[in-house]
Amino acid sequence: ELQLVESGGGLVQPGGSLSLSCVASGFTFSSYWMTWVRQAPGKGLEWVADIKQDGSEKNYVDSVKGRFTIFRDNAKNSLYLQMHSLRDEDTAVYYCARRTSGRHYGCDVWGQGTVVTVSP
Amino acid sequence: EIVMTQSPGTLSVSPGEKATLSCRASQTVSSNLAWYQQKPGQAPRLLIYGASARAAGTPARFSGSGSGTEFTLTISSLQSEDFAVYYCQQYNNWPPITFGQGTRLEIK
């Protein structure tokens, strides 16, 4: 079964840091681009970052550049999102997702999400 | 950044009827567009990629069309499980990947 399981969410004060993890199973993790997508309470989806199969290319939405770092450990089938200088507007459910293989960018496998709450 | 605009915000349709959801891009995205379905408390589910290709497991009643800046998701005969929020997403010019704000499909 294709599966992604996120962890690491929680309550953090503004300016604080948090590290999210996502463990993959049921597929060859090292063969896929991976993505983080977030969803603020009651809001739509927002792409946050992605990373190439070997970690050599990373992309970020402007609002998190310089604060968030995406990285992966293919030996552990794991994806990470390190978050610093957190702001109220970073409060969201954070999903990790697998990008489809080939030239299309659909996210065809999703985790259940982990909740990040930034509040004093 | 390409802005994706979905309409309507909410669509009320009776079971068994057809639903038509629209998505417009602020500039051309060719056919580099995906559609997702999201139910309350669940992660999104990929329905369509490449504007019209059904993802694995997507029922045939779901169809996507369009190219350039105008796209449509059509659900031919609504089933109870289809009532959800639908998002379009462009991947022609990335980063960033951008999503529409969503269309809520509700039971009439």
Amino acid at A81: L
Spatial CB neighbours of A21, under 8 Å, sequence gap ≥ 6: A6, A7, A8, A78, A79, A80
- Examine the pLDDT at A105 and tell me if it is beyond 90: no
Condensed to tens digits (0 to 9), the pLDDT of residues B53-95 reads: 999 999 999 999 999 999 999 999 999 999 999 999 999 999 9
Instruction: Measure Cα distances from B19 to A42, B9, B12, B73, B107 in Å.
Output: 23, 13, 9, 8, 11
A residues 61-90 closer than 8 Å to B (CB): 61-62
Contacts of B9 in chain A (CB under 8 A): none
What confidence category does residue A102 fall into, taking pLDDT thresholds of 50, 70 and 90?
Answer: confident
Q: List, in sequence order, the alpha helices (H) in chain A.
A: none
Mean pLDDT of A49-72: 97
Interface probe, candidates A104, A109, A114, chain B, greatest B C-beta count within 10 A: A104
Please tell me whether residue A74 adopts helix, strand or coil conformation.
helix
Mean pLDDT of A89-100: 97
Distance CA A119, CA B12 (A): 36
Condensed to tens digits (0 to 9), the pLDDT of residues B1-52 reads: 999 999 999 999 999 999 999 999 999 999 999 999 999 999 999 999 999 9
- Examine the pLDDT at A42 and tell me if it is beyond 90: yes
Mean pLDDT of A104-119: 96
Determine contact, residues A116/A46, Cβ cutoff 8 Å: no
Contacts of A105 in chain B (CB under 8 A): 32, 34, 49, 89, 91, 94, 97
Share of chain B above pLDDT 90, in %: 98
Closest listed residue to residue A36, CA positions, set A116, A111, A117, A105: A111
Mean pLDDT of A38-55: 97
Distance CA A64, CA A26 (A): 30
Distance CA A55, CA B40 (A): 33
Spatial CB neighbours of A103, under 8 Å, sequence gap ≥ 6: none
Distance CA A87, CA B84 (A): 30
